[in-house]
Structure formats: C-alpha cells, structure tokens
Structure 1
Amino acid sequence: MATSTRTNGVVFDPEFVLPPMNFKDRLRSIELPFIIAYFTLWILIYLSSRIVLEMAVDEKQSTMLIWAAIASFPLVIYGTLRAGFADKSKWHGFIGYYLMFSLFGIFMTQYMLIQGKLLYDVAVQNEVQRRVQIKEVKRVFSRRSGSNHTAVTFILDGKPITMKARAYAYFYLQDKKMIDINFGRSDMGDYVTNIALSSGDKAHARWLHLKDFVYRLKYIGLIILAMIIGGLIKARYFPAQPGKPPQKMGLWKMTAIIMAILITIVILLYIGLWVYVTFIANYR
C-alpha cells in the first residue's frame, strides 16, 4: 500500500492521478496556440508577398473566395458559439459574432490561399526575363484617401496585360516607357517578381507616396485628434455622475474603444469611396 509523503508542508500522494481532459477542455487548450499559429502564418505570407511580388493578377479571386468560405466555416461556427455562449448573448449577438468571424475568417483565408499559391509557384517555377512596353500607369482609389494600388498595363507578346502593383509603384513607373521584368505564370494568375530599377528610385517613390498619403489623410488625423481631446475633456469636466470621481478605464477597454472608432472611420471612408466611384466619378 502506497503512503503519502510530506515535503515542505506539501503532501504528495503517489496514487493521485489527474483526471483525463474531456473534449471541451481539449478544444479550449488549443485555442490560443491555433490563433497564434494562424495569425503568424498570415503575417509571414503577407510579408513574403510584399517582398517577393512586385505585381500580380488575381484571376481566381472569386473562386478562391468560395473555397475560403468552405475552409473557414467550421472555425467561424466554433468562434461564434464560443464567443456567444461566453458572453451570454441573445440571438442578435450570435448573428453579430457570426458576421464578424465570417468577415475576418473568409477574407484572411482567401488571401492566404491566393498569395500562398503564388509564392509556391515563384519558388518552384522558372521565370522569364522580358522587356515590355508600358501602356498605362493608373492610380486606383479615391482622390482624397490616396491610392489603394497601382494598375499597370504593359504589352507582352503583342497583348496588353494589366497587373496590380503596390500604391507607391505609381511614382516610379509613371514616366517609364520600357521596363525589364521577371515574368511568371501561376494558376492564380500572372506575376512579376522583379522590375529592373535601382533601389534608390523605389526608395524615392516610397517617400513621395508617404508624403502624398499624409497630405490626403491630414483631415482624418485632425478628426481623430479632436475626438480624443473631446473625450478627455468630457471625462474631466462633464462626468456622467457629477460629484463622483471618474471611473478609470482599463488598458484593454480603452484599446478596444480606440480600435472600434478607427475601424468605423475606415468603413465610412470605404462607403464614401464606393459612393463617389459608383455615382459621381463616372458622370463627371
């Protein structure tokens, strides 16, 4: 018969065995590692595509959106139920969580599928060096919000091809007539991994794009600053309960409020952009 031992006042029973984890506990034990791994993979693919790809064409975007919705569906359902029951939400709360997890899950998974396949093809396929004639370089987005990307149209084998480049590419391609590129093809679309320009030209283009971006968004920065100052003044001089000291707000709650405000501003900007491009710009 085994006997318990005492060490520094703590009793150790050699016959004690931890109860086995049930399925619910096993799921919760892998939540944090899965979230960290998922976002780490997304960040790695994002950074790699920014470094490797100069231009690309998303020919399978709509198709991959369907596959991304299928792949992320179990995670969306699990996240909805997990957050909804933890928050003791009502039915509309579950709908809100479902929309939120669907928005992030589908589009992040779609991005990883497309960019991951492009990066894989870059690694295993041979590219060709071509000298092409630039037909058009156009900034794509709102006048005031700054360009979201640069649409570059060039002639390859007698046919025009339009690719999506990063926003700052406009500043180093707008005055070019001919460029040398490394061109490749993928199931996801055509891509360019190198444009034969000096690093100084690209660095100068980044600087011009940054100045242009700051100029176009200067009023948004002033609005955000005014909202922050207004919130501080209200909390200091116009408390919700006069006579009582203001309740301190935790760091995570303050961060969540600021992020919610910023996301709301971005959504309003995109809605305004869509209205401008759809109903105004085309008729001017």
Structure 2
Amino acid sequence: MNQAMWISKTGLHAQEAKLQAIANNIANVNTVGYKRDRVVFEDLFYRIQIEPGAQLDDNRVSPTGLQLGTGTRVVGTQKLFTDGDAKTTNEQYDVAIEGQGFLQVELPDGQTAYTRAGQLQPGPEGILATAQGMPLVPEITIPEGTSRVTIGADGRVTARSAIDDSTNELGQLELASFVNPAGLRALGNNLYRETEASGPPTEGAPGTNGMGTLRQGALENSNVEVVEEMTEMMTAHRVYEMNTKVLSAADNMLQQLAQVA
C-alpha cells in the first residue's frame, strides 16, 4: 500500500475516535456529574533514512536528517475532572460536591464504586442511596417520622423529627479522592471503579485533607461546554475530510504510475 494512503487511514481512524468522544460528551451534557472525555493521540514510528547529524561527506553533516512519519494513533481517553456548575434544586436529598472527591456507594456484588452524582433518596428501609438504588458508604438510615434532613457542608447528616421536633445526628457522609482520578474505570450509571492507574482511595470528611465540601439542595452539572464541543466537532470533521482527500489523491497517483509503467 502507498505510504501516504496508510498514513491517511490512520488519520481517519483517529478522527473517528475523536468524533465518537465528542458525540458522547454532547449526549451527556445534561447528565448530572458527568465528566467530559478527551482523546489522546501520539505520532507513530518514523522511518529514518538519514540520521540527524549524519556525515554527508567530508565537510558536511545533515542538520535535520530525513525522518518520514507513518501516521497517528489513539493512545487513550482521559476524563477531565474539572468541576461542573452547581444547579440549585432545593431538594433536601440532593448534594453537589464542590471541589475534589467522590461519594462512595456499594455495588450489588459488594464492591465499592464512586460517583459525583448526588441525586440521593432513602430506600424502602430508609437507607440513603443513589438514584440507581445503590446505598452510600458509610450507610446512613433516615428514620420514620422525619420531617426534614439537613446535610452540612462537612457531610454531617441530621434529621428533625415530625413527632417532637427534636434533632438527631444520623451519621457522616464521607468522600474519597484519588491521586489520578483520570485513571478510574468508568462503569456507566455515573459510576467509577478504582484501578491500579487511579491509585487507592483516600477517604475523609468533606472539607478535610483537600476534600471538597457538600452543598445541599444542589446538583453538579456536567462539565461539558457545548460551544467548545461543537468547535472541536467541526475541526475533526474538516480533518477527516482532508484525510479522505489525501487518500483519494494517493490512489490517483498510484493509478497514474501504473499507467506509465
């Protein structure tokens, strides 16, 4: 295959991956706590025909050499964990994390997952859980006859009784942070799981040891900027088109060469 055709093919695959990430970002613009994806590329190996600094003759060396690239490839995707804007909902069980950290939840298999989506609700037994019904870790139970629940910026959860108007502390919401949150494995359902790349979680109360704080009655919007994504989409589309033109031009050159031969 003509080398230019191969290089163009790698460019097409790269832009296809970028468009897929952009499409996913735009699709999740209204997903609570969603973090946008960024595709990471690298250039492929080079065919070195003349080494930089190689001796050309007795008096000359090559200042740059002759190095021909062979294309590009996708090496990874990266979640960008910048904060999304907090949207006020005035719902007592909604919490937005302002700063670093994740809420911890227990999966059906007993393992722990992590989320930025603070749409919480008490389950049938009063256990505070996510919108998908996964209980928080550590567990907090809302007693019957509760008229109002208060979640402090430091994660302390208190309940006011509808019977005698007394206030009781129910427990402490904790956050978990990671050295490399971009290394977490995305599970879907607004959940992430620890990996070797993310490192182990550091747990603590909100507002301590670099952890963010909680804001009751609010939810964190996605950090997707629609205008930026649209700009990236148009750029990726143009680059894709240009690669197809190079592919077509290289094919025409091969046909012309075959006719001459």
TM over 0.5: no
Q: Choose between structure 1 and 2: higher helix proportion.
A: 1
Calculate the TM-score normalised by the size of structure 2.
0.25
- The structure with higher relative contact order (CA 8 Å, sep 6+) is 2
TM-score, normalisation: structure 1: 0.23
More strand by percentage: 2
